[in-house]
Structure 1
Amino acid sequence: MLTERQELILKTIINDFTQTHDPVGSKTVMSQLPIKVSSATIRNEMAVLEDRGLIEKTHSSSGRVPSTEGYRYYLDNLVEPLQIPESVYTKIINQLDRPFHQVNEIVQEAARILSDLTNYTAFAEGPESRDVTVTGFRIVPLVGRQVMAILVTSDGSVQNQVYHLPRNIHGDEIEKAVRMINDELVGKSLAEITPEMLSKALGENANSKHASELIELVEDVINDAASEQLYVDGQINLLNNSSTNDVSDIRSLYELVDHDDLLANLEAYKPTSNSGRFPVRVSLGSELPNELLKDYSLLTAEYSVGSHGKGIIALLGPTNMPYSQVIGLLEYFRNELAKKLLEYYGRFK
């Protein structure tokens, strides 16, 4: 552990570098420290911090910048979340205080609000949906051999997909399958609807040589309805924080962020140290699994909607972001998002 004075100096360097993005010298530290310390003492303490690997010298200046280890020490021991300004509080309340027709609309709006407030790339993943029940299923004919399968669940969500049917499946088979699906599945939770149940309901009862195609269609709709939906907003903000000018790297970065499994993959990598002081977890770029993310930090926060499950909100921004403000924002926002979702679910009791 560092001494109290060393911690103050490290905190001062990080705070100044966050604001200016310029290396920090001893004179700057001396002018900003809340205690009176000589310039020589500060230089000696900065040398200790450099020996400990917490700050490092750049080639272009005699000043120092925080290292990855310095940021990790700061995040584990020194950072304190700041209360969000009244203007930000009002903006969040106003943007969430409007009618939503589906859970996914709320989650998608959450990603948009977070990106708008921070100018970072925001992620929002909805709560698990396996406990909601099926309230209706329809297959609507479209043009040619296309049909739209529509699944309605007890939380008001409507899942629809367009399928192209094999040429030899007839309309009466589809109508019969729909009737059986409603008879067998309505009132059951998504978790209860297994491939075996579908096979029994449609395979044995439908007496159709095309039962396997119909079962596959229903499985797809059920799986999509039960899967956690990930929404991403502010991808363009990645370019503001990347050190690469390589077009292929930038394209790869975009593809990485748009990948459905991104959060699950990144969440598998724990920070080198995690004190658990706050509900917001910070993973620095060097702790993330992809070299393209070396200039970024990922902040994730879990929110709970009681019996309806848990979801995740996250921000991907520059390593030298103002952590106190952003952690404070995520702490507050996760609670407001949970309140909004509980209010929404309450409409269906």
Structure 2
Amino acid sequence: MHFPEYRARRLRRTETLRSMVREVHLNVQDFILPYFVHHGKGIKTPLPSMPGHFQLSAELLVKELREPVDRGIPAVLLFGIPETKDSAASGAHAKNGVVQQAIRRIKDAYPDLVVITDVCLCEYTDHGHCGVIRNNDVDNDPTLDLLAKTALSHAYAGADIVAPSDMMDGRVAAIRESLDESGFEWLPIMAYSAKYASGFYGPFREAAQSAPQFGDRRSYQMDPANTDEALREVSMDVEEGADLIMVKPALPYLDVIWRVRNAFDLPLVAYNVSGEFAMIKAAAQNGWIDGDRCMMEALTSIRRAGADLIISYHALEAARILQDGTKASRKK
């Protein structure tokens, strides 16, 4: 193709033409919306670093879900903030724990909404790490039993998908075995397969009150420099029984999403994490960028890289824009 016979601008002339030949389309059905469920009642605590998001008690969460459900967002991801924490993360698998109660309330109110539960221990431990501590580090194998108990408690409460985010070796197999033995062989596992030890989790750790009280998580989360390792991690999760696989974070790891997409044919999820969300929000509030435009561009890039589903704190705002127009995210 040579100019002037081929003019690429011919198909860019109007929005209708651009839309007709667009290679990647965002849809409301692509999104999973995360929530922070806090123990107690009447709680709606704003998260300063994540504008528009809150710590919510279960009954107020049910009310907040009305608009996402009406707009067709298909799934939510729940993180729990318990009343008390201890070294054994006992609140993570309690029958009437904060997430377990929230699952039941949500499924009663919105039976068709897919409820995904984060299966990890950092929100429930007093030390803020994702498992049992021994010699100032997480002891992998004893942690697997607690993760399996937590996933099973979510299944009994009515979760539609369990999502282990701990990055322990062998956790998918342990959870799969526990679920199958208890009659939940139909329940999918969405594995945080390639979860990096990222600096982009800061706002989340404040929101979930899960910052480590000593050290960091680099002994079990992945080194940001590695991509071959990501393929090995995903491969192990697939072999152990994962039904959906995930790369987290999203925007700094679009190359990893692309590599995973080309290597595996399972549904691929990308987590557009709290720090990615907060940067766009902060820049928009300072008038440095068009927040709506940059949000949609970022989300499109994640789909373009190969993700089938996107976990994002932008999800509701993006749904408003897709359905109502470019000013929808500014509605009160």
* Both proteins in one fold, TM over 0.5: no
Q: Give the TM-score, by structure 1 length.
A: 0.23
Q: Which structure's residues are more often helix, by fraction?
A: 1
Bigger Rg over Cα:
1
